[in-house]
Chain A
Amino acid sequence: MNDLTPTREERIANLKGMGTSRKRVEDVRFTQGKGNYVDDIKLQGMLFGDFVRSPYAHARVKSINADAARALPGVVAVLTAADLAPLNLHWMPTLAGDKQMVLADGKVLFQGQEVAFVVATDRYIAADAIELVEVDYEELPVVVDPFAAMEPDAPVLREDLNGIMSGAHGPRRHHNHIFLWETGDKAATEEALGAAEVVAEEMVYYHRTHPCPLETCGCVASMDKVNGKLTVWGTFQAPHVVRTVASLLSGIEEHNIRVVSPDIGGGFGNKVGVYPGYVCSIVASIVTGKPVKWVEDRMDNLMATAFARDYWMKGRISATKEGKITALRCHVTADHGAFDACADPTKFPAGFFHICTGSYDIPVAYVGVDGVYTNKAPGGVAYRCSFRVTEAAYFIERMIEVLAIELGMDAAELRRINFIRKEQFPYQSALGWEYDSGDYHTAWDKALAAVDYKGLREEQAQRIADFKAGRTRKLLGIGLTHFTEIVGAGPVKNCDILGMGMFDSCEIRIHPTGSAIARLGTISQGQGHATTFAQIIASEIGLSADSITVEEGDTDTAPYGLGTYGSRSTPVAGAATALCGRKIRAKAQMIAAWLLEVHEGDLEWDVDRFQVKGAPERFKTMKEIAYAAYNQAIPGIEPGLEAVSYYDPPNMTYPFGAYIAVMEIDVDTGEHEVRQFYALDDCGTRINPMVIEGQVHGGATEGYAIAMGQEIAYDEIGNVKTGTLMDFFLPTAWETPHYTTDHTETPSPHHPIGAKGVGESPNVGSVPAFSNAVHDAFRAFGLRQSHMPHDHWRIWKIARDLGLHG
């Protein structure tokens, strides 16, 4: 020992392990423009594909004449459904058990649908050729309203399903019906609602929007005809699943397919599904023997690849006069668009919507979800949320507000009365979930105190008085939310995608000099996995996070996993990572015992080393052990130090949080200003507080956009009205509110490191907070419910309808 020997604290700090706000290792390349995205991939002889898209929302395709396009110099091929049919690739299965046209087969069902795929030597020629493809359409009546779609005489959208009255999720009761999915106790719920002292009923609409990642979807497919290997680089949130699906569809053996997700510029659910562009690029590469790139432009992305939400949620909630909730019922009319291409675990066509009892102890509940076809783009993906959890959180948090109005109660108090109590965990919800852990009252009280809730209400009362007296034209809204998420899909026993169980994986190889590489089945799209997973490993095995490379996304090298979405990376792959680290440590302990000539049981782990119990000066660091693993012949122990773990979680995790938005609203113009936004998150064990804060900022900004203006809007004949970023609201630094973040820490009891996942909480929690603030501003004037997005004219309309314009 001398002065240079690091103290135990220094050794811990050197690891940059869990709990450290380690700077994101990814950002060096991203902030310097040195990322490597799909569109950066350039291969010798690469061709470009692009789509002829339908201008109509519903039309018969009578003929396609591509002669002029084929004659254009530089055009290599034009594919139509007729070309794909012999390969049986003109349709493809969706993740939701439906099928989807790859290229228009006789008709088109939404504006922007893929009709023909033009392949040319560069993208400029492809764009010119698209204009030369003549498509003869016969317009058909358009259905954009899911309720109208279910009218008896509504036009038949899916002629391919004519007469087939059983779908992937049970019987279909109408030609535009997809499924009815039900859970809970309907009879008991009706009975409780009927007997209740107070009942509130409301239709809550969560409008159609879009994940809109900055990088659009795309791929490069390259078929090497010499060795028979197909490589596909793409914007895939689930590369391994894409490989399996590609193998099943194409008949190419899985070992001959390599799928690579390079850097991905945001996914948010948009990049989970399989799109016609992938199939067409692969086919085109097989046909031409050349690499083929397809990359959407912004309009393609907003128009055609997976939207999110579009849930009409009709709720009934009942309570005693004192405000104790007695029952909840919800019926959803879910607009899935032209094909059911939701990306949910197979057995859950409405995702985990039945988390809609939220943070509350509701004794009995029932949910029914009707999926419906319309002439809109397919999708219904989880836009930065676990499957339909945002819809559920918005629904219950609106219903609580409406119930508070019905009861004449303060909405914060109503929540407090009904929270599941700390001692009730693990808590069995009326709709079948087992909440792992929570302490809602503590979080709630901390949040209310942080914003001085009482003071805010007093200010609001004064503001209302001033408004009524003509002294101001601005109202003050206080938007409350306490959300509970369900993330980390999921136990293989009930969660799978196309039959593949939703486990995840991690493989760690320790190099002789004591650095390491870890590979996971997930794929970061901006979440910072290379930073945080290295921190988990650092804490588990005692090597510095800076000495650990984390690699994901190459199916030839990474272990199989189900990918990154639904906040599942930390709950599932993060658990695999911790357990994999523990396997390494177990072997390291055997090696250390041999090196120190003691029995394994005489050793104890301390930060970065095994030391002899009672004699801490006798130790071997993980670095020394790693070297020995490759250098010494140790009797009975294989050389090398590596491990792989596959993790099937016993349960989901249930992160929660308390968000409060304070908003000023201009009654005359409908403009608003977010004066304050407070976000308390409890995501269990915190791996990297700075990354958490970044995730909260990003997610809350998306939530702000969704609540206050972002939407995919259609006119009555199915034209997309929001096809560019001029009309589709993506906040810039200018619009983005300032956030105050805070936390409590309630570890998950079943997760190896107690972590729950946080990436999606802020989107889930902030939407109701912003929306409730708007509603709350007008509560004193009689507003119960007004649908999002709360853009200027819709807020103005609230004021107009309430007679506030004089």
Chain B
Amino acid sequence: MIPSAFEYHRPGDLASAIGLLTDHGDEARVIAGGHSLIPMMKLRMAAVGHLVDLQAVAELKGITVEGGRVTIGAMVTQAELIGHEGLARAVPLLREAALQIADPQVRYVGTVGGNVANGDPGNDMPGLMQCLGASFTLVGPGGTREVAARGFYHGLYATERADDEILTRITLPVAAGGYAYEKQKRKIGDYATAAAAVLLTKSGGKVASASIATTNLSDVPVWSEAAAAALVGSDCGAAAVKAAVAAMLGDIDPQKDNRGPIEFKRHVAGVILGRAIARAWARA
């Protein structure tokens, strides 16, 4: 459990950080909270010649809630996100979900940017950001671009981000309506056996809009348009929930692991989504 040797860099601004990534090519990697990267390095599953620490890059900090939009700096820790009252009012789903990530120790150090950039299907933030319709700002030597969370994830640890780009912030609309993040895990500090994020709005006793995403049920987070569509226009009753679950099950592809076999995960995914919808509807 000892990583191989690496050079440590601590740039003071974004431009220098990108410069270091450009200089060292695929030898270099940024480190945020390190709570996904360092375990990988200790297991020697990741070999990093040049570690570029983003802790001193002030541009990557800060949360703003303004004009119906929320901006979260990549280096905001999960604990800071949980503690931000304005954010909790604007997007209560974020706090509910973040409180189910790991444990307080991890959350004090782990960042939001690292969680979404990591590309591990076990991370809770990616599905959450897809549910919320967030977009990520990527800055690289070639400039700045915006990528929708829903188009960011390509496969296990494979994302839209190029190696020399840094994810600088996350932007999302203020989310009105009912919400829920439901997660089954074996213990505190565990990744999800199955988790679901649900946003709903209600109008005249019917579901006016819905967004549904799941965590750790495929090699990428799954934003299920079909599941949401099954709810919209319904009374969110048993039949609609059943249809939404069936639609979600059509989109996921869980794998067997120590948490259990595929059949179990699919069943639990359905139960969890049903509970998330019920809670979101009750809050809508």
Which positions in A face B, CB cutoff 8 Å? Answer: 123-124, 127-128, 131, 297-299, 668-671, 709, 713, 721-722, 726-727, 729, 731-732, 734-735, 791-793, 796-797, 800, 805
Contacts and interface: CB of A to CB of B under 8 A. Distances in A.
B35 to A, nearest CB: 12
25 contacts: A123-B2, A124-B5, A127-B2, A128-B5, A299-B1, A669-B271, A669-B272, A670-B268, A713-B258, A721-B258, A722-B258, A726-B189, A726-B191, A731-B187, A734-B188, A735-B187, A791-B186, A792-B268, A793-B259, A793-B260, A793-B264, A796-B260, A796-B264, A796-B267, A796-B268
Contacts of B2: 123-124, 127
Contacts of B261: 793
Looking at chain B's contact residues, the main secondary structure is loop
Interface string B256-280: 0011110010011001100000000
B184 A669 contact: yes
A721 B259 CA distance: 11
A508 to B, nearest CB: 43
B44 interface: yes
B190 interface: yes
Contacts of A128: 4-5
A729 B187 contact: yes
B259 A792 contact: yes
Interface string B170-204: 00000000000000101111110100000000000
Nearest to B2: A127
Given A709-B187, A734-B188, A792-B184, A298 B260 contact: no
Contacts of A123: 2
A726 B44 CA distance: 17
B253 interface: no
Interface residues of B, number: 23
B187 A797 contact: no
B44 to A, nearest CB: 7
B186 A729 contact: yes
Contacts of A734: 103, 187-188
B89 to A, nearest CB: 27
Interface string B1-35: 11011000000000000000000000000000000
A731 B186 CA distance: 10
B190 A726 contact: yes
A297 B2 CA distance: 9
Nearest to A711: B258
A208 B188 CA distance: 23
Contacts of A805: 267
B264 A797 contact: yes
A297 B1 contact: yes
Contact of B188 (A124, A735, A792): A735
A323 to B, nearest CB: 37
Contacts of B190: 726
A526 B258 CA distance: 31
Given A128-B4, A796-B260, 5 more contacts: A128-B5, A131-B44, A668-B268, A734-B188, A792-B184
A792 B103 contact: no
Contacts of B271: 668-669
A375 B190 CA distance: 29
A298 B39 CA distance: 13
B259 A732 contact: no
Contacts of B272: 669
Contacts of B191: 726
A791 B186 CA distance: 8
A801 B186 CA distance: 21
A670 B184 CA distance: 10
B239 to A, nearest CB: 16
Centre residue among A298, A299, A792, A793 by max chain B CB count within 10 A: A793
A709 B260 CA distance: 12
A498 B103 CA distance: 46
Nearest to A713: B258
A713 B2 CA distance: 24
Contacts of A727: 258
B108 to A, nearest CB: 16
Counting from the closest, the 10 A-B pairs by CB-CB distance are: A793-B260, A127-B2, A734-B188, A297-B1, A793-B264, A668-B271, A727-B258, A735-B187, A732-B188, A669-B268
A721 B261 CA distance: 14
B231 to A, nearest CB: 20
A74 to B, nearest CB: 12
A299 B261 CA distance: 24
B42 to A, nearest CB: 9
Contacts of B193: 792
Given A123-B2, A792-B193, A732 B260 contact: no
Given A124-B2, A131-B44, A792 B186 contact: yes
B83 to A, nearest CB: 20
Contacts of A671: 184
B260 A792 contact: yes
Contacts of B264: 670, 792-793, 796-797
A411 B189 CA distance: 37
B241 to A, nearest CB: 14
Centre residue among B186, B268, B271 by max chain A CB count within 10 A: B186
A376 B233 CA distance: 57
A298 B5 contact: no
Contacts of B184: 669, 671, 792
Interface in B225-265: 258-261, 264
A792 B183 CA distance: 13
A731 B264 CA distance: 23
Centre residue among B184, B187, B188 by max chain A CB count within 10 A: B187
A709 B258 CA distance: 10
Contacts of A713: 258
A732 B271 CA distance: 26
A13 to B, nearest CB: 41
Contacts of B268: 668-670, 792, 796
B187 A298 contact: no
A166 B39 CA distance: 47
B186 A298 contact: no
Contacts of A297: 1
Given A729-B186, A792-B193, A797-B264, A298 B1 contact: yes
Nearest to B122: A726
A419 B114 CA distance: 60
